[in-house]
Every structure is written in C-alpha cells, then in structure tokens.
Amino acid sequence: MKNLELLNSIAYTKYSDWKGIISIDNSDLSGVQDLCTNNGISSDKYFIVGFGLGDENSRGISESKSVACIVLLLDKNKYGHSATQIMENTRDEKQINVIRKSFRVPYSDVAKSIKRFSFMALWKTRGEFPEINIIEEE
C-alpha cells in the first residue's frame, strides 16, 4: 500500500502498544458519507479518501459515550467530482493535498454507518518479529 507510512503517522495512541490494519464496509453505499454530512462536512465540496476513529480518554474507551471521527478529504473543485474524475486527474501526480477534519459522534452513529469491519494488530516489540507464519488451530 503506497500510503502505509502516512497511515502509520496518523493512526497512533500514546504508546502504540499494538499497530495494525483495518478494513471497513459501509452500511450502504453512503454510510461514512452520511455520517460526515450529518456532522457538517459537505459532500458537494469534499470527496472522502480517508476515515478513522480515535479516543484519547486516559480512563479507557468504556468511559466515553462518543468517539472522534477523523476524515481525510479531497477538494472536489480541485480534483474532480466523481471517483473516476479524481483517479484521472491525480494519475500523474506524485502527491496530492488532502484536508483533515474531525468531529465527535456517539458510538451508535458509527455503528449505523459501518456494515462490517475487521482489524488485526500486532504487539509492539523493541525490535521486529521475524516473518510470522499463522497456523490455524482446530
């Protein structure tokens, strides 16, 4: 993934004891877009290219009733108004500028926007583990 280093610099906690990868499916075609629109981010102005969640509560996330949503947005006037236009207009670019915005929502709002998710993180070590081979236990 071309922007993995960027994601690692954005997605972190105080100690980053665990680091990993996540995959998300919208609840419908506009799940995350609706969440953003309902929280003041114009779908006419911006195209969402990044979505994340975070919480800085030192007492643990179970103490929070809400979570911070972080979105990375492309300006549609600069890059295009559809996914196809954006891909065509950025094909030869080495770097594009995105706008980072955040807002807080109840956990239940996030749950309504996401149909499926999967994430896996590996424990942080002082060095690096050798390559891992997963053995399924029956």
Give residue-wise pLDDT tens across range 2-43: 787 888 788 878 888 888 888 988 877 688 999 999 999 999
Decide if 74 is inside a domain: yes
Q: Does some domain include residue 116?
A: yes
Residue 69 has a pLDDT of 95
pLDDT of residue 123: 84
Q: Is 76 domain-assigned?
A: yes
Q: Provide mean pLDDT across the span 80-108.
A: 94
Q: What is the mean pLDDT of the chain?
A: 87
Q: Does 34 fall in a domain?
A: yes
Residue 4 lies in a domain: no
What residues are paired with 55 via a beta bridge? none
14-23, 54-63, 73-82: which is most confident: 73-82
Question: Residue 68 belongs to what domain range?
Answer: 19-57+64-123
Is residue 117, in this structure, part of any structural domain at all?
Answer: yes
With respect to residue 29, please indicate whether it lies within any of the assigned structural domains. Answer: yes
- Asked if the structure places residue 95 within a domain, the reply is yes
The count of structural domains within the chain is 1
Supply the pTM of this predicted model: 0.82
Q: Is the pLDDT of residue 55 over 80?
A: yes
